[in-house]
A and B are shown apart, each in its own frame.
Chain A
Amino acid sequence: MKDKNNSGNLQTRNLIEERIDRLTPEDLKRALQVFKGKLGSEHAAYLNSCVHCGLCAESCHYYLADGDVESIPARKLNLVTAVFKRHFTFAGKAIPQWVGARELDRDIMRQWLDSLFGRCSLCGRCSLNCSIGLNVSYVVRAARSAMASLDLVPTGLQSTVNTAIDKGNNMGIPEAEWIETVQWLAEELRKDVGDPKATLPMNLKGARLLYTVNPREPMFFPLSIVAVAKIFHAAGESWTFSSKNYDVTNYGFFSGDDQAARTISDRLVRSMEELGCRTLVLAECGHGFNSNRWEAPEWIGKEYGFEVKSILEIVADYIRAGRIRLDPSRNPGPVTLHDPCNLVRLGGIVEEQRYILKSSTNNFIEMTPNREKNFCCGGGGGQLSMTEFTERRLKAGKVKADQIRRTGAKIVAAPCHNCIDQLIELNKHYKLGVEVKTVSEIAADALVIGGATNSEEKCEPQRPV
């Protein structure tokens, strides 16, 4: 089975390498133009600044796992810097070898493919540790964009983007199936809360919140949806799903395809406008948060007329306001927390999850390092969909596995479904013996139904459409 997988991965990789072999000088010119078009003044500043001190090396989980020079962030950045210098700086044009400048050619495209897709999860940890302060993942994504313009995105990642564009969500779930799943989950909710009126509203116009999910939830983790629904129910929240646009993920962010990323995120904006909701609530999904909270307004080119919040901010607000009550003794733990890079380091949601977990268990243990300094699990940057790099991804995950093991925790809370998938694999691969859950699931386990002390801020919804 393993051999079969390996040969499949090799095939996938060879397919792209064949495409690279077929690139014409015109294709490369086009890629250069796209690359230039993707660069802003920030990129140009970063690309002028690396001093090759190499101090970033140990900030990268890839380098820590394999010790390969190619995994040093400065080396990865250098692949992009070299092209920038060669084509856009005087010194790079005049004395290319002296300053390490290189033409954008097939050879460097192969290296971009291997390093920028296969050795980088866009986690941004190197940026915090950079002597100069270069936003490396920002630059890597610009280079990925140039690759995307030439159809050189690894097949698995590209097909995830294509599915989202064609089917409306990245798992290709038909609308009827989604509605049916939600109806089934509503029954589960009613049983759980003992309220025959409890429901998971669909297309409820005027609801305060529009809640989105990662399509992996209805497919593989439906109980994480029920957990959030329980919390909404206990808080007396006015909320709804959209039957069409509910996918929080955006793999265009990972592939570097801004056009696709814009299309995907714009669907949520349209749903917000159609349903007249006040807050777009993003499920526990790191890159979904980063994409929709921070990047999408730039892709779409407008300031939103509504709030965009993580479900963690909403739940933390409920606890603070006394809208839900949690009994921490219901989660004996010990529980540790993984900080998803896109949510924490790149998203700014740092303390909410801690507040929720400390309210939900008496036995919470921090990993070291944590918060914005935490290590990537290895599942970000589209790595989970690029099967050709699976072996490398699991190897790079050792840093996270060791971090978890050192806490001695039995439950790992991970507010991101990509991270959860990677952590489940790491759990198996490194025999960690832990259970991986979302933060909302842990909060829902501690939820005291009917225990709220304050039920203000409820909104009366209008009618379903």
Chain B
Amino acid sequence: MTALLKYAVVLTFVFAVVSLSFMVIKTFFFGRKAQYAKPRGSAGKGILFALGKGMMPSEKESASKHLPTYFAGILYHAGIFAALFYLLSLVLSLGLPGLSFVSLELPASLALFLCIVCAVGLLSGVSLVLKRVSLPALRKLSCPDDFAANLIVDAFLLLAAMSSYQRFSVSSGALSGSFYSAIAAFNGGSAGAAAGNHLGGANTLFFVVAVVMFLYVPLGKIRHCFFFFYARILLGLFYGKRGVWPAPGMRL
């Protein structure tokens, strides 16, 4: 069952990446606008600014005026990256057939760190969805996808946090050997197998949610995970070429 789910995780991840790549490629079929106007500034510097300093509260009123939301957004996305890293470690460390040459065993401290980042990300994600529910203007801006995307990712973070905590507990011995010995005595079998089952149960649900999330990525707003970089690069090109970004004399 777990092996099948691991395959499903990998396959749906590949599906998400391929679908998003296809969507990006599809945009090129709309045609690229010619660039005949002579540049006034540097497109490269504009892109660097757009992907760096241009996102800081010092440069964006929308961030400086909404610092709690801004930081919630950053922590939410940090949590997502941590959860994805944790998922990768699970898929590899549990010995995916055909991928046995790679493994990523997590030390207990790293598992705990990922657990904390995922938990903070989860709280941030929940705060963002609550904001969306409670503010009439934001509610009016939203469609079902806005809520669904957030809730799917929140579930992913929740399970990543739970699973990584269990991994930390097992690795660090926080759940004692006698705990698993007792389970083994009750069910029959070894303490090691009991510990493995414990983790396996937590991971099963995590894998299921990951599969759902990867399947949903190209359908809804989560596709901004690709398009965000695409859009910011384009904006950086636009303002860089026109000499607006970065401001003269500004250090990138």
Q: Could you tell me the distance in whole angstroms from the C-beta of B120 to the nearest C-beta in chain A?
A: 19
Q: Which of B177-185, B194-202, B236-244 contacts A (4 or more CB under 8 A)?
A: B236-244
Of the four ranges (under 10, 10 to 19, 20 to 34, 35 or more), the interface on chain A belongs to: 35 or more
The residues of B that contact A330 with a CB separation of less than 8 Å are: none
Given A133-B235, A298-B37: A48 in contact with B23 (beta carbons within 8 A): yes
The segment from B60-68, B103-111, B162-170 found at the interface with A is B60-68
Q: Are B234 and A98 in contact (CB under 8 A)?
A: no
- Give Cα A371 to B218, complex, Å: 38
Q: What string of 1s and 0s marks CB contacts (under 8 Å) between A84-108 and chain B?
A: 0000011100010111100000000
> With A45-B230, A132-B227 in contact, do A297 and B137 touch (Cβ < 8 Å)?
no
Chain B residue with minimal CB distance to A313?
B40
Q: Smallest distance from the beta carbon of A161 to chain B beta carbons, Å?
A: 22
| A298 CB contact (under 8 Å) in B26, B33, B50, B73 | B33
Query: What is the size category of the interface that chain B forms with chain A?
Result: 35 or more
Asked whether, in the complex, the Cβ of B146 is within 8 Å of the Cβ of A49, the reply is no
- CB-nearest residue of chain B to A300: B36
**B32 engages A40 (CB within 8 Å):** yes
Nearest Cβ on chain B to A58's Cβ, whole angstroms:
6
Check if A91 sits within 8 Å of B219, measured CB to CB: yes
Q: Does B247 contact A (CB under 8 A)?
A: yes
B248 and A69 contacting across the interface, CB-CB below 8 Å: no
- A41→B30 contact, CB < 8 A: yes
Tell me the complex Cα distance, A129–B247, Å: 16
CA A59 to CA B66, docked complex, whole Å? 12
Cβ of B141: which chain A residues have Cβ within 8 Å of it? 52, 54, 69, 72, 74-75, 78
Whether a CB of chain B sits under 8 angstroms from the CB of A152 is no
For B98, list chain A residues within 8 Å (CB): none
Q: Are B235 and A348 in contact (CB under 8 A)?
A: no
How far apart are the CA atoms of A99 and B216 in the complex, in Å? 12
Write the B212-235 contact mask toward A (1 if CB under 8 angstroms, else 0): 000000111101100110111011
The answer for the CA separation of A95 and B149 in the assembled complex, in Å, is 14
| A255 CB → nearest B CB, Å | 19
Contact B230 A49 (CB under 8 A): yes
Kindly state whether residue B251 has any CB partner on chain A within 8 Å: no
Name 30 A/B residue pairs within 8 A (Cβ), A-sorted: A41-B29, A42-B33, A42-B238, A48-B224, A49-B224, A49-B228, A52-B142, A52-B143, A57-B137, A69-B136, A69-B141, A72-B137, A95-B219, A98-B148, A98-B220, A129-B61, A132-B227, A133-B228, A135-B238, A294-B37, A297-B36, A298-B33, A298-B37, A300-B36, A304-B36, A345-B244, A347-B244, A350-B243, A371-B247, A372-B244
Where the two chains meet, the residues of B that have a C-beta atom closer than 8 Å to any C-beta of A are 23-24, 26-38, 40-41, 50, 54, 59-63, 65-66, 69-70, 73, 135-138, 140-146, 148, 218-221, 223-224, 227-228, 230-232, 234-236, 238-239, 242-245, 247-248
What 6 A-B pairs are tightest by C-beta distance, nearest first?
Answer: A100-B143, A297-B36, A348-B243, A44-B27, A129-B62, A348-B242
